[in-house]
Amino acid sequence: MAGGGPRNYSANPNDYKLLEEVGYGASATVYRAIYLPFNEVIAVKCLDLDRCNSNLDDIRREAQTMSLIDHPNVIKSFCSFVVDSYLWVVMPFMAEGSCLHLMKIAYPDGFEESAICSMLKETLKALEYLHRHGHIHRDVKAGNILLDTNGIVKLGDFGVSACMFDSGDRQRSRNTFVGTPCWMAPEVLQPGTGYDFKADIWSLGITALELAHGHAPFSKYPPMKVLLMTIQNAPPGLDYDRDKKFSKSFKEMVAMCLVKDQNKRPTAEKLLKHSFFKNAKPPELSVKKLFADLPPLWHRVKALQLKDAAQLALKKMPSSEQEALSQSEYQRGVSAWNFDLEDLKLQASLVHDDDDIQEIKEEDEAMKAYMNYKEKPIASPYAGKQIPRKDSIASEQESVGEVSLAEYEIKNGKDLESSQLDSDHWEKNGLKKNASKTELPPLTSEKDALPVKNRTQTPKARQSQSGPLMAGVVLSHSASERARNSERTEIENQQPGDKAHQVRRAPSFSGPLMLPNRASGNSLSAPIKSSGGFKDSLDDKSKPNLVQIKGRFSVTSENVDLVKGSPLRKSASVGEWLVESKQTPSCQPPKDLGLNNVPASILMPHLQNLFQQTSIQQDLIVNLLSSLQLSEAGDSSQNGKLPPVQRPENNGTVEAAVSEREKLLLVKISELQARMINLTDELTAEKLKYWQLQQRLNAMSNCGEDGDRRELES
């Protein structure tokens, strides 16, 4: 087992022998490995820089943070270095993996209270340390609580951690979404409100529920619904009836964490003093016993992967079976954002809910609001009150008297922002330089900028591993992602050249949401890799319908169309359009058509005829609408109304052409929508007429019958 001693680990990948895969996240695969010079088992997290949504500053920040950590409950990195297009982070191996893995394998309904208490207490100690040193973890969840064989608990994954002392762009980035939706505090989900370390306390509360039930609250729902539920619903908690087995103090502690007003949530320090944690058993007693009879971690991970693969295969099953399965899929927690609208809708469609349509509407509304938000520049900087100022924190730390992360960051803050590529700086901070391989590529570098020779070396190194690092192995989270990932992998494999031989992970369509927080992430020329969906995995410039790329998410005109919420969008029948249409003219009193004296026997055939005509008109309108859309699409691609996507050498021109084309497409879409609304109005008017006539007919036939009866009676 790896010790955390002051030994130096080299930055030479040949000194590491990667063994089995023991975990995977949105952007990284973690291996059990041996550090050959010490013959020591360690873990190596291979962060795929090609797939990583974060820019290099963020990645470096994670690595730096981890290397400076000095707390028994926080995972430290021994060193990190770049190998080809991967960042390797060397850290202690936590032989029992994450609490999430453990639950998925052996405790699907959650752990007993004493184990939860110990896990949470250790996690809280980690948070207290991080917060005291100016860090927000931002991704507290069972998947990031790591366990060692002796029961030791450590908080891992600084993929999205933020320094509270940041200023400028980095500080503003906290006004954006970062994290994972089920665990995200309401203030994190509400763009622009700003958040602070109390967001971690909320996540801890959600993690408590996750550990108690085996899944996070709302985890069966698609991301957008989770967002809405977190913002709109009362906070989740331990239920008096359902959770009888849990103590009152546990329930109370959870309730304290899950207060929507962040100012009313306790600090980690205060929470540690809560009665729930008073009698916490040492994890060596309460946690260690949990994995007494389990197979080694890598076997468990393999089993979970096989289960996921089986789910993927079953995706091709009839929908009812799929739905049943997808329920279990969601139980693992929606651990990543995906702003591919089609995928959101697919996910939404898999949820058994009576108010599905309403939900999807809500999601679209939220998406619209979200899109609007994204369009606006982030105007207000961070909500100052909640973020301690550098100087106040510094003095607080001086009083604590530690050589801390915060101190380091304060001293080097500017360096971190502006000159992190300085290799001396890296060396100084444990990020060792390797003459040939470990220098970080410049900020703008991409996979393509790396020498081909270098790139082709990595697979060789990786093929020597016994882990399942093979092309076609799908490593991302959900089965739907995996389905698409495998599609992509197939396509990639068909491509000529060295691509087919490269060991690649399929693209992630998920991951911690990092929205427009970095300038580099907001432009087409930014070194941001596709991650918004299968379509995005193709060459961006070849996407005719690309409207915008915002960070890792792309918006296509198709999406915009959906988002704009055409009244026809969800309905198969005209009747439903009418329900949805807000353009229904106000009901006018029926005009006197002078038909009062006409016998029903004469009127009847006319009315039937009229009814038929209306139905025919109705069908006609539907057909016209669809052919109109088709012909518009055809026209635009054939007659040159819209500028064809050119492929000049200059990327700027391509972008300009694409954006011009997209603007025109959007105009077309609006026109079509306007026409559809008019046609719907006409149809509504026709229907109204028909209804009025029918009423009249009924009235008349009643009159006729009455008359006949009276005649008979007399």
Ligand X SMILES: Nc1ncnc2c1ncn2[C@@H]1O[C@H](COP(=O)(O)OP(=O)(O)OP(=O)(O)O)[C@@H](O)[C@H]1O
Cβ partners under 8 Å of residue 451, min gap 6: none
CA angle at 339 for the pair 343 and 500, rounded to the nearest 5°: 70
In the complex, minimum distance from the CB of residue 515 to ligand X, in angstroms, rounded to a whole number: 16
In the bound state with ligand X, the residue whose beta carbon lies nearer, of 334 and 350, is 334
Helix, strand or coil for residue 182? helix
The answer to whether the CB of 258 falls within 8 A of the CB of 94 is no
Three-state SS sequence of 30-84: EEEEEECCCCEEEEEEEEECCCCCCCHHHHHHHHHHHHHCCCCCECCCCEEEEEC
| Distance from chain centroid for Cα 150 | 34
Q: Give CA–CA dist 407/429, Å, rounded.
A: 13
With 0-12 / 13-18 / 19 or more C-beta atoms within 10 angstroms meaning exposed / middle / buried, residue 640 is exposed
Is 139 a catalytic site residue? yes
H or E, element range at 87: strand 86-92
Token pair recorded at residue 341: 């609208």
In the bound state with ligand X, the residue whose beta carbon lies nearer, of 11 and 26, is 26
Q: Choosing from 48, 58, 84, 139, which is the catalytic residue?
A: 139
In the complex, minimum distance from the CB of residue 213 to ligand X, in angstroms, rounded to a whole number: 18
Residues found near ligand X in the complex (CB under 6 A): 22-28, 30, 43, 45, 75, 91-94, 97-98, 101, 139, 143-144, 146, 156-157, 159, 335, 512
Helix, strand or coil for residue 553? strand
User: Within 10 Å of residue 306's Cβ, how many Cβ atoms?
Assistant: 10
In the complex, minimum distance from the CB of residue 330 to ligand X, in angstroms, rounded to a whole number: 16
Helix, strand or coil for residue 673? helix
In the bound state with ligand X, the residue whose beta carbon lies nearer, of 99 and 676, is 99
In the complex, minimum distance from the CB of residue 621 to ligand X, in angstroms, rounded to a whole number: 48
Q: Give CA–CA dist 690/13, Å, rounded.
A: 78
Q: Which residue has 């941001």 as its token pair?
A: 528
Q: Give CA–CA dist 409/65, Å, rounded.
A: 9
Angle between helices 198-213 and 113-132 in degrees, nearest 10: 160
- Please say whether the dihedral angle defined by the alpha carbons of residues 149, 153, 159 and 163, taken in this order, is positive or negative: negative
In the bound state with ligand X, the residue whose beta carbon lies nearer, of 106 and 616, is 106
In the bound state with ligand X, the residue whose beta carbon lies nearer, of 336 and 621, is 336
In the complex, minimum distance from the CB of residue 159 to ligand X, in angstroms, rounded to a whole number: 4
DSSP per residue, 202-242: HHHHHHHHHHHHSS-TTTTS-HHHHHHHHHHSPPP---TTT
Partners of 34 in beta bridges: 17, 41
In the bound state with ligand X, the residue whose beta carbon lies nearer, of 397 and 510, is 510
Cβ partners under 8 Å of residue 72, min gap 6: 125, 152, 154
In the bound state with ligand X, the residue whose beta carbon lies nearer, of 31 and 197, is 31
In the complex, minimum distance from the CB of residue 150 to ligand X, in angstroms, rounded to a whole number: 14
In the complex, minimum distance from the CB of residue 58 to ligand X, in angstroms, rounded to a whole number: 11
| Burial state string for 492-507 with b = 16 or more CB within 10 A and e = fewer than 16 | beeeeeeeeebbbbbb
Token pair recorded at residue 474: 């799908």
H or E, element range at 119: helix 113-132
Token pair recorded at residue 261: 């007003």
In the bound state with ligand X, the residue whose beta carbon lies nearer, of 45 and 661, is 45
Token pair recorded at residue 259: 């207060």
The answer to whether the CB of 145 falls within 8 A of the CB of 293 is no
In the bound state with ligand X, the residue whose beta carbon lies nearer, of 54 and 171, is 54
In the bound state with ligand X, the residue whose beta carbon lies nearer, of 530 and 557, is 530
Which residues are known to be catalytic? 139
